[in-house]
Chain A
């Protein structure tokens, strides 16, 4: 009984939480945190159950309120979407555990609003993943964006300005997406993704169809901060509160990337688009440029949060490279990186949050010799940094590994070379930071003293994430073989069946 309604049930605890948090928080502010925790725990359980059910009995197509598609809204849950929902739930759970002590210190008095808005954002993101309806996706898109602006606006003094800029660009993106949906609707008369997908093969030469694909790429590209549409990201991430960044950075851009993959490969049919316009090559080249530019910008930063923000631009660009290449292994790499980068970035941003809490700053100077003051936190940070550089056997190595294999499938040498050697640029800023963290400051630098580990609730999530990074690396094949590979579009895997799987 419960299993049949899982797709909608996953969202219910979040809804309840978003309403209950302000309700109980009004009388007693300290109750906001346990309420949010409880609602996320329920979501996590349901998301886990959903993945198990989907793995056992296949894709769930759920009709909301019993309306038949294409008239009603359909929730479409296959292995991939169930998996992404689980990732979101895990990350969100860890961040909320962490947020209990962090938010109180960093943005005092705002706990109720923070938890409530965060839960609404999670509704939006989960909805984007679960829905099988194009317009419904737009609504969830805006739900997540609007709550994202609100979360980002609360933090440093400059946060509202960054949030406003993001709002303008984000709205352009959402509007582009809506426009794209409009074209599709005009052409097909349907808003159901599966329906549109079944009609798409006859449309691939139609200019309106191509325009709508480009609009989708621009719209989702803006939200996922694909180079050169990343301009909103560095400021927004830097000035938002650390906890908000720690939840937005890992999931928001990744969910958008995931939706872009869904759209291009499951709705539009990338291989057909590619015969008419070189969309894939364009995305690949944007990705490659983004990897290089993002990393170089990261090297130049003096603030840890800003450095990580630019590194996000580079990491999202890797996903872009995989999407553009479109070979099965490259897509595996892109999807794996969605998961991997979410875990790594969450870990890194949580640590910067802890540093901010303990030292009052996230400038790189405040990391001097901090490794001995906060040994456990920085154990997690080190693992995450190594995963970012792509040192095996962390998970970061394996997503790049699949991208490289995907590049070799197509003899795309530029991709292979950039993906393999871009780790050097990443290494340049992370090893520099690690040396700062673990060694005595050199002349003219001040050592950070007299601070210790933050409360256990802020250390445990970091360590759990670090452990995840190693486990996801060592057992990546389980994820790839059981979840990603079976969910890839059949047309794609057939075309490349001789060369890999």
Chain B
């Protein structure tokens, strides 16, 4: 299987993979805690997109029963991934909230969110 055949028709998935990598890189390599958090958000967003892309069908409409379309299942998008992702978005917002709360406390205590500076101050605490 050559590369082109692999990619063609899978552009959205490729896009989510790129997003995942960007997010992961942000989380692991950025030294600023807020940037780490942003990376985490991108990572979660990529996964949400992954589900939604899977549910997407060309030419289909929202999964609300429509008299004109009738009971043709293939004319509606799959509602389950969308429902799931609503929950996942809620979870991700909650996570972000907790993370921001933690960052505020850290900033109050140490006056910085840069990892290098923070580590130094942590060491002074001992």
Enumerate chain A interface residues (CB-CB to B < 8 A). 135, 138-139, 142, 146, 149-150, 153, 157-158, 160-161, 163-164, 167-168, 171-172, 174-175, 178-179, 182, 185-186, 191
What separation, in Å, do the CA atoms of A150 and B102 have in the docked complex?
Answer: 8
Q: Are A171 and B95 neighbours in the complex by a CB distance under 8 Å?
A: yes
* Nearest chain A CB to B91 CB, angstrom units: 5
Q: Please tell me the number of chain B residues within 8 Å of chain A, measured between CB atoms.
A: 31
State whether A146 and B95 are in contact (beta carbons under 8 Å apart), knowing that A178-B47, A185-B81 are contacts in the complex. yes
Residues of chain A within 8 A (CB-CB) of B125 are 157-158
Question: B22 within 8 Å of A by Cβ?
Answer: no
Interface residue? B75 (CB, 8 A): no
Q: B30-60 vs A: 1/0 string, CB under 8 Å?
A: 0001001100100110010011001000000
Report chain A residues within 8 Å CB of B81: 185
B40 close to A168 (CB less than 8 A): yes
B21 within 8 A of A: no
Cβ of B109 within 8 Å of any chain A Cβ, yes or no, is: yes
Q: Give the 5 A-B CB pairs with smallest separation, nearest first.
A: A160-B105, A164-B102, A142-B91, A160-B106, A160-B102
Q: Enumerate chain B residues within 8 angstroms of A182, measured Cβ to Cβ.
A: 47, 50-51, 54
A142 to B91, CA, bound (A): 7
Determine chain B's interface SS by DSSP, over half rule.
Answer: helix
Distance in angstroms from A256 CB to nearest chain B CB is: 17
B122 lies within 8 A of A161 (CB)? yes
Whether the pair A161, B95 counts as a contact (CB closer than 8 A) is: no
When distances are taken between beta carbons in the complex, the residues of chain A under 8 Å from B95 are 142, 146, 167, 171
18 A-B contact pairs sorted by A residue (CB < 8 Å): A135-B87, A138-B88, A139-B87, A142-B91, A149-B102, A158-B122, A158-B125, A161-B106, A163-B102, A168-B27, A171-B40, A171-B43, A175-B47, A179-B47, A182-B51, A185-B51, A185-B80, A185-B81
Please determine whether B98 and A178 come into contact, CB atoms closer than 8 angstroms. Answer: no
Nearest CB in chain A: distance from B86 CB, A: 11
Chain A hits for B51, CB < 8 A: 182, 185
User: What DSSP secondary structure best describes chain A's contact surface?
Assistant: helix
Contact of B91 with A167 in the complex, beta carbons under 8 Å: no
Pair A179/B50 contact, Cβ less than 8 Å: yes
Are A167 and B102 CB-contacts (below 8 A) given A157-B125, A160-B109, A185-B81?
yes
For B81, the closest partner residue in chain A by CB is A185
Q: A146 contacts B94, CB within 8 Å?
A: yes
Query: How distant is the Cα of A171 from the Cα of B39 in the complex, in angstroms?
Result: 11
Once A142-B95, A164-B99, A167-B99 are accepted as A-B contacts, the answer to whether A175 and B43 lie under 8 Å apart by CB is yes
Within 93-110 of B, Cβ neighbours of A (below 8 Å) are at: 94-95, 98-99, 102-103, 105-106, 109-110
Give the distance to chain B from A296, nearest Cβ to Cβ, in Å.
22
B18: interface (CB < 8 Å): no
- Given A157-B125, A160-B105, A179-B47, A167-B98 contact (CB < 8 Å): yes
Task: Tell me, in angstroms, the Cα distance from A139 to B7 when the chains sit together.
Answer: 32
Report yes or no: A164 in contact with B91, Cβ–Cβ below 8 A.
no
